[in-house]
Amino acid sequence: MKVLVTGVTGYIGSHTAVELLAEGHDLIGIDDFSTSSPKVKHDIERVAGRPFTLLDLDLRNRCEVECLLASGEFDAIIHFAGRKFVGESVAEPMQYYERNLAASVSLAAAAQRHEISHVVFSSSCTVYGQPTQLPVTEETPIAPVSPYGRTKAMTETVLQDLCDATPSASVLALRYFNPIGAHPSALLGEVPSGPPNNLLPYIMQVAKRVRPFLNIYGGDYDTHDGTCIRDYIHVVDLARAHVLALDRAAETTGFEALNLGTGIGSSVLDVLEACEKATGRAIPHQIVDRRPGDAASMFADPSRAQQLLGWKAEANLPEMCLDHWNFERNLDVDALSA
Ligand code: UDP
């Protein structure tokens, strides 16, 4: 297929581009490089062994989006581009509504106008908010508790309406749990811009001695060791699911949402221990107050993805931490300390 990939030089976009190229798809990637670098193109091509086209395009620019979709003859769109931090979304909600929601609406409208029927959308388990029942299934109520989560839930609704009104359309919304790790080649991975918000990048910077210690947000949750539980999934497993989702989108119509996780919950201290083993270094840490808005425990029931895509996450936590470390250890320290 000829596939438009938005946010292609980002963390999940870049790993998915490799898998798509390996499967023989033709890619046109776009990015505005606000949180990633055009240099990633070279690394994607080096890992995949095939070239693709990369365009500098901000999805908020409706005219450019319209022109691209009018002339591109795309079979499908995989839509990653957007911001992803809960805390930032609380401080700057309009930026999230513009970049995540409004940009997705204009992309979807242009896709409908130009009869691009198949869309895979990068959603998040954040749409479930603070679920009261575990594991989280796709029937768990949608109840986001942050502007970021609301932009993902609202975009899903927009795409669902698009499908209801367009008999030929198919949309798969992939609800990611906690993606970590990096490509085993150590050429692709997550490059945080500024101090990291997420657990793994932060731990790795402590391991590199860029930061002195990890703050663990809360040690008194109702979990086996008092720290929060999440479902960490290797980014390459996640990337593989997108290729299968694209195949399914080409064969079906209508809207489907799928959880992408391992089904296994790990606490912050479990992750810390796995990272100490992977890096061979002690990771200084201290328990501090809870972070507002954190759910005590979140892990997926990934059985629908297994049933519909024939997909299952393969990597375990030690493998994820090792791959993450092998990428991160080579990153420029000056860039990280910004
Ligand atoms: N966390 C932490 N210290 C940090 C960053 C995260 O203790 O510096 C915890 C956080 O409270 C949560 C887990 O690690 O329980 C995963 O957080 P992250 O921000 O990576 O993902 P989230 O699940 O919040 O989207």
pLDDT tens digits, one per residue of 64-81: 999 999 998 999 999 999
Q: What is the mean pLDDT of residues 272-278?
A: 98
pLDDT of residue 308 exceeding 80, the answer is: yes
Protein residue whose Cα sits closest to atom 5 of ligand 1: 199
Facing residues of 180 across strands?
Answer: 234
Ligand 1 centroid from CA 22, angstroms: 33
- Measured in degrees and rounded to the nearest 5, phi and psi for residue 67 equal -60, -45
Protein residue whose Cα sits closest to atom 16 of ligand 1: 199
pLDDT of residue 334 exceeding 80, the answer is: no
List of residues 6+ apart from 246 with CB closer than 8 A: 1, 3, 20, 25, 76, 78, 118, 120
pLDDT of residue 114 exceeding 60, the answer is: yes
**Tokens 């080096």 -> residue:** 46
Q: What is the pLDDT of residues 125-170, one digit of tens each?
A: 999 999 989 999 999 999 999 999 999 999 999 999 999 999 999 9
Asked if domains 2-180+232-260 and 199-230+263-336 share a fold, the reply is no
- Rounded to 10 degrees, the C-alpha dihedral 250/253/259/261 comes to -10
230, 233, 286, best to mutate for ligand 1 pocket (most atoms within 8 Å of CB): 230
Specify the pLDDT at position 335.
Answer: 53
Ligand 1 centroid from CA 261, angstroms: 16
90, 146, 271, 291, best to mutate for ligand 1 pocket (most atoms within 8 Å of CB): 291
Specify the pLDDT at position 193.
Answer: 81
- Between 134 and 330, the more confident residue is 134
146, 199, 221, 269, best to mutate for ligand 1 pocket (most atoms within 8 Å of CB): 199
List of residues 6+ apart from 330 with CB closer than 8 A: 186
* Ligand 1 pocket by Cβ (under 6 Å): 178, 197-199, 202, 214-217, 228, 230, 268, 291, 294
Ligand 1 centroid from CA 70, angstroms: 41
Atom of ligand 1 nearest to the CA of 203: 8
Residue 331 banded pLDDT, cuts 50, 70, 90: confident
Which sequence spans correspond to the domains of the chain?
Answer: 2-180+232-260, 199-230+263-336
Protein residue whose Cα sits closest to atom 7 of ligand 1: 216
Burial class (CB in 10 A: 0-12, 13-18, 19+), 236: buried
The CATH label, of 3.90.25.10, 3.10.20.90, 3.40.50.1110, 2.40.10.220, for the domain at 199-230+263-336 is: 3.90.25.10
CA distance 280 to 21: 35
**Tokens 């749409």 -> residue:** 127
Q: 88-100: b or e for each residue (b if 16 or more CB lie within 10 Å)?
A: bbeeeeeebbebb
Helix, strand, or coil (residue 80):
coil
Atom of ligand 1 nearest to the CA of 229: 15
Q: What is the mean pLDDT of residues 173-179?
A: 98
Q: What is the mean pLDDT of the chain?
A: 96
Protein residue whose Cα sits closest to atom 18 of ligand 1: 198
Cis status of the peptide bond prior to 93, with omega within 30 of 0: no
Specify the pLDDT at position 187.
Answer: 96
Specify the pLDDT at position 337.
Answer: 45
Protein residue whose Cα sits closest to atom 19 of ligand 1: 198
Atom of ligand 1 nearest to the CA of 230: 23
Atom of ligand 1 nearest to the CA of 271: 14
List, by residue number, the catalytic residues.
Answer: 148
Residue 200 banded pLDDT, cuts 50, 70, 90: very high
Specify the pLDDT at position 292.
Answer: 85
Q: For residues 163 and 255, is the Cβ–Cβ distance under 8 A?
A: yes
% of the chain beyond a pLDDT of 90? 93
89, 227, 268, best to mutate for ligand 1 pocket (most atoms within 8 Å of CB): 268
Ligand 1 centroid from CA 213, angstroms: 14
Locate all alpha helices (DSSP H) within 226-332, ordered by sequence.
235-251, 268-279, 303-309, 317-328
Ligand 1 centroid from CA 294, angstroms: 8
CA distance 322 to 197: 20
Q: For residues 299 and 270, is the Cβ–Cβ distance under 8 A?
A: no
CA distance 206 to 202: 6
For the entire predicted model, the pTM comes to 0.97
Q: Which CATH fold would you assign to the domain 2-180+232-260?
A: Rossmann fold (3.40.50)
Q: What is the mean pLDDT of residues 267-271?
A: 98
Specify the pLDDT at position 221.
Answer: 97
Protein residue whose Cα sits closest to atom 10 of ligand 1: 217
Q: Tokens at residue 237, please? A: 């497993």
